[in-house]
Amino acid sequence: MKEELGERMKRIVPTGKAMILAYDQGFEHGPRDFLGNPESRKLEYILDIAKKGGFTGIVLHAGLAEKYQAGIRDSGIPLILKLNGKSELYTEEDPFSPQLYSVADALSLGASAVGYTVYSGSKHEDQMHKEFAQIIREAHQEGIPAIGWMYPRGKSLFDRKSSSKTFKIAQEEKEKEKSLAIDETPSIVAYGARIGLELGADLVKVKYTGSTDSFKWVVECASPTKVVMSGGEMIEDEEFLSKIKGALNAGAVGIAVGRNVWQRPEPMDITNKIHQIIFGS
Ligand code: FBP
């Protein structure tokens, strides 16, 4: 099984670098994400970008993965099946994203990896840590890599009286670097990445911490688990590309982004620039 795990991992990180297209936002944020570029509501459109752009993975929930199984297979783009999910309609400050699908579902849909979002810091973290641990156990038994969306989140992160020493350090970091949100501070991001390693994830997807130096610490804390940078809301080309460069210079193996690609009216322009940065061509 170790061999299969390695082979599947190689599909997503083929030359030691990964360029993953995230497309689970229809569930996580809803169709509002498609309003700026309505074509982006169609998986055919997304698959076309992924194929032409040389993406090394596409992230989907099970519904689309099942309905477009043949098209995904023919595209040759490795499928990363997201096993948990939640909508943004329920706005409890301590998020919980329950497991909805299994490793067996992922295998039967031909996935090359499974994904799971972990909101460490939420009052429901125990449940998510447990679910992800079990998913990793099963995934490794079956020889399929597990990717953690490590997004510390919840009311505690904003509690100035919190007894967590990490939160205190994070608040100091935020004071020094005001442009950072609390969940982008190096201490919080590194903690999330580290939890991914400790749970056994093969790859973790984390937010950028604003500089190469601070992101290096995140990569070092996650090692030997590999790190990819997540995207966030759409921002200017130059700012986005500079974040990618910063993350790669810090040792990240690549990116797993969505809106910054397919919300643009001309997604191939930015895609080609990203490809150039990651693969040098
Ligand atoms: P984006 O590049 O569009 O931010 O996608 C990355 C991602 O992790 C998605 O996989 C996920 O749906 C979304 O971000 C979650 O966003 P949020 O941080 O708002 O919960």
Structure tokens, 110: 């031909």
Report the run of H or E that residue 20 belongs to, with start and end: strand 18-22
Report the run of H or E that residue 108 belongs to, with start and end: helix 103-108
Q: How far apart are CA 264 and CA 119, in angstroms?
A: 28
Kindly give the distance from the C-alpha atom of residue 31 to the centroid of ligand 1, in angstroms, as a whole number.
13
* Catalytic residue flag (residue 205): yes
Structure tokens, 254: 């690549």
Nearest CA to ligand 1 atom 4: 232
Q: How far apart are CA 198 and CA 193, in angstroms?
A: 9
Q: Are strands 226-230 and 113-118 parallel, antiparallel or unpaired?
A: unpaired
Q: Work out the widest C-alpha separation in the chain, in whole angstroms.
A: 53
Out of 205, 207, 226, 243, pick the active-site residue.
Answer: 205
Kindly give the distance from the C-alpha atom of residue 121 to the centroid of ligand 1, in angstroms, as a whole number.
18
The minimum-distance atom of ligand 1 relative to the CA of 230 is 6
> What is the pLDDT tens value at each position of the chain, 281 positions in all?
789 999 999 999 999 999 999 999 999 999 999 999 999 999 999 999 999 999 999 999 999 999 999 999 999 999 999 999 999 999 889 999 999 999 999 999 999 999 999 999 999 999 999 999 999 999 999 999 999 999 999 999 888 888 999 999 999 999 999 999 999 999 999 999 999 999 999 999 999 999 999 999 999 999 999 999 999 999 999 999 999 999 999 999 999 999 999 999 999 999 999 999 999 98
Out of 151, 191, 207, 243, pick the active-site residue.
Answer: 151
Q: What residues form DSSP beta bridges with 80?
A: 59, 113
Q: What residues form DSSP beta bridges with 149?
A: 117, 205
Three-state secondary structure call for residue 110: coil
Pocket of ligand 1 (CB under 6 A): 22, 24-25, 28, 59, 149, 230-232, 257-260
Kindly give the distance from the C-alpha atom of residue 116 to the centroid of ligand 1, in angstroms, as a whole number.
12
Residue 83 burial by Cβ neighbours in a 10 Å radius (0-12, 13-18, 19+): buried
The minimum-distance atom of ligand 1 relative to the CA of 263 is 3
Distance, first Cα to last Cα, the chain: 33
Residue 237 phi, psi (nearest 5): -50, -55
* Catalytic residue flag (residue 151): yes
- Cβ proximity of 36 and 263 under 8 Å: yes
Report the run of H or E that residue 226 belongs to, with start and end: strand 226-230
- Cβ proximity of 19 and 281 under 8 Å: no
Question: In a mutational test of the pocket of ligand 1, which residue from 89, 203, 230 has the highest number of ligand atoms less than 8 Å from its CB?
Answer: 230
